[in-house]
Amino acid sequence: MKNENIRVPKLRFKEFSGEWEEKTLGNLADIKTGNRDTQDKVDNGTYPFFVRSQTIERINSYSFDGEAILTAGDGVGVGKVFHYLNEKFDYHQRVYNIHNFKNNVFGKYIFFYFSENFYKRVIRLSAKNSVDSVRMEMISKMLIPLPQKQEQEKIASFLSSIDKKINQLSKKDELLQNYKKAMMQKIFSQKLRFKKADGSDYTKWEEKKLNQITKVYDGTHSTPKYVKSGVPFYSVEHVTANQFEETKYISEKVFEKENERVKLEKNDILMTRIGDIGTSRLIDWDVRASFYVSLALIKNNKNFSSSFLNQFIKSDYFQRQLYSKTLHVAFPKKINLGEIGECLIKLPSLEEQIKIANFLSSLDTKISQNKKALEETQKFKKALLQKMFV
């Protein structure tokens, strides 16, 4: 049984051994605050300007040039916002600059330690459930577990490689999202058209109201009594998160009664209409579930591609219509079923619909796969942060 008082991490590179030291941050680096205010920011300024949030502003001055860790002294970013950099920058009067690291300290190691442990340490020192500000003294007296510098460098290098992977996946996600948005604009404005197999053009697109080609329903108007197990019950949160596995449940009796009024089936579309407006999901699985009034059910009449319609709903053209018909003065904001049905849809031939839907769905698959890889890498990093430090 390992002695819990021994200062060694749960996960460690095999070439290192021995206990870690514990020293106050004030003995490992210098700490000071900036002298700028948020109003000093300049759009497209020459240098980065760090305020009390994750957002990096710009400014035409710099007051520091070198390696530093920055963290917010108050505001929503306390204990949660950290920046590591080695360049010229300026910073807010309530941002702490940890710099001038001693010879036995590798700055980026401290940065990674802070990103996982700083907030917990501040909570412990303040003896509160939440923290709205951090004093210089609290940071200076904070105890830092410290291995030999070579081990610090190895830890920081390894975690930096994971950060690099996360940044690459984040950038790829942004590129894929922007590419899909650009392609949707070209396709639904008909600047880009698909061709038939023989190279000839498809027929001209038709414009129809949504209620001419579908039936639009809403879900149950009363909050049902939930049970521990039974039939899944969907609400706005499931559609916006695109997550239908973790749900509340209703009884078979309640489900059967609601199912007589409107039946949710494969190839139907669920769209948010209260609070969040216009987020849609295609039900592309064999479903047995009910749903709340905050969702609209758009039912396929079998004469068009549900996948195409789901993509069209996401277009700027359709979203602008939803926005104009939404009751913004209501709280929460909402759009009535009749107004949804009045929105216009541009319909190509069924064959072209299928080609468009397949193309855009393939992009969705790539986006989803990349997001999954990003989330898994972020979880992996979080697990490492919890195990690689004392």
Based on the fold, state whether residues 236 and 325 are members of the same structural domain.
yes
Please answer whether residues 96 and 73 qualify as being in contact, where contact means their C-beta atoms are separated by less than 8 angstroms: yes
Residues 240 and 320 in one domain: yes
Of 122-126, 202-206, 303-307, the one with minimum mean pLDDT is: 122-126
User: 31-40, 80-89, 267-276, 296-305: which has the minimum mean pLDDT?
Assistant: 296-305
Contact predicate 281/269, CB 8 Å: yes
Question: What pLDDT was estimated at residue 75?
Answer: 82
Are 233 and 306 in a shared domain? yes
Lowest mean pLDDT among 82-96, 111-125, 210-224, 307-321: 111-125
Query: What is the structure's pLDDT at 110?
Result: 96
Neighbours of 377 (CB within 10 A): 17
Residue 294 confidence (pLDDT): 97
Question: What per-residue confidence (pLDDT) applies to 3?
Answer: 41
Using alpha carbons, select from 105, 121, 113 the residue that is nearest to residue 28.
105
Residue 2 lies in a domain: no
Q: What angle do CA 146, 149, 154 make, to 5 degrees?
A: 100
DSSP letter, residue 218: E
What value does the mean pLDDT take over residues 304-309?
Answer: 96
C-alpha 129/C-alpha 332 separation (Å) is: 31
Give the model confidence (pLDDT) of 25-58 as tens digits. 999 999 999 999 999 999 999 999 999 988 999 9
Which residues on neighbouring strands pair with residue 91, listed in sequence order? 50
CA 220 to chain centre: 30
| Residue 213 and residue 156 in one domain | no
Paired sense of beta strands 95-99 and 30-33, if any? antiparallel
Give the DSSP H or E segment for 298: strand 295-300
* Residues 218-252: tens digit of each pLDDT: 999 999 999 999 999 999 999 999 999 999 999 99
The total of structural domains in the chain comes to 3
Confidence of residue 302 (pLDDT cuts 50, 70, 90): confident
Q: Which run of H or of E encompasses 386?
A: helix 350-388
Whether residues 210 and 343 share a domain: the answer is: yes
Residue 70 lies in a domain: yes
Where does the pLDDT of residue 5 fall: very low under 50, low under 70, confident under 90, or very high at 90 and above?
A: low
Q: Are residues 217 and 339 in the same domain?
A: yes
CATH of the domain at 182: 1.10.287.1120
Both tokens of 195, joined, read 């061709």
Q: Which residue has the higher pLDDT, 132 or 230?
A: 230
* Per-residue pLDDT reduced to its tens digit, 328-367: 999 999 999 999 999 999 999 999 999 999 999 999 999 9
63: Cβ contacts below 8 Å, ≥ 6 apart = 34, 35, 36, 89, 90, 91
Contact 354, 303 (CB under 8 A): no
What's the pTM value of the predicted model, to 2 decimals?
Answer: 0.85
Tell me how long the chain is: 390
Q: Is residue 26, in this structure, part of any structural domain at all? A: yes
| Residue 10, domain member (yes or no) | no
**Both tokens of residue 353?**
């619909």
Are residues 25 and 104 located together in one domain of the fold? yes
Average pLDDT value for the chain:
94
Whether 206 shows a pLDDT value over 80: the answer reads yes
Q: Are residues 114 and 239 in the same domain?
A: no
**In-domain check, residue 4:** no
Residues 239 and 111 in one domain: no
Q: Which of 128-137, 154-163, 186-195, 225-234 has the lowest mean pLDDT?
A: 128-137
Domain shared by 301 and 210, yes or no = yes
Cα gap 280→343, rounded to integer Å: 15
Q: Domain residues for 186?
A: 148-196+350-389
Written as six digits, the tokens of 226 are: 């939930």
Structure tokens, 189: 């404005």
Domain assignment present for residue 382? The answer is yes
Same domain for 108 and 31: yes
The answer to whether residue 14 sits within a structural domain is no
178 belongs to a structural domain: yes
- Read off the pLDDT of each residue in 289-305 and give the average, rounded to a whole number: 92
Sign of CA dihedral 224, 225, 227, 230: negative
Tokens representing residue 351 in the block = 């064959």
Q: Which of 78, 112, 146 is the last residue of a domain?
A: 146
Domain of 285: which CATH number? 3.90.220.20
Give the pLDDT mean for 99-109: 97
190 and 321 housed in the same domain: no
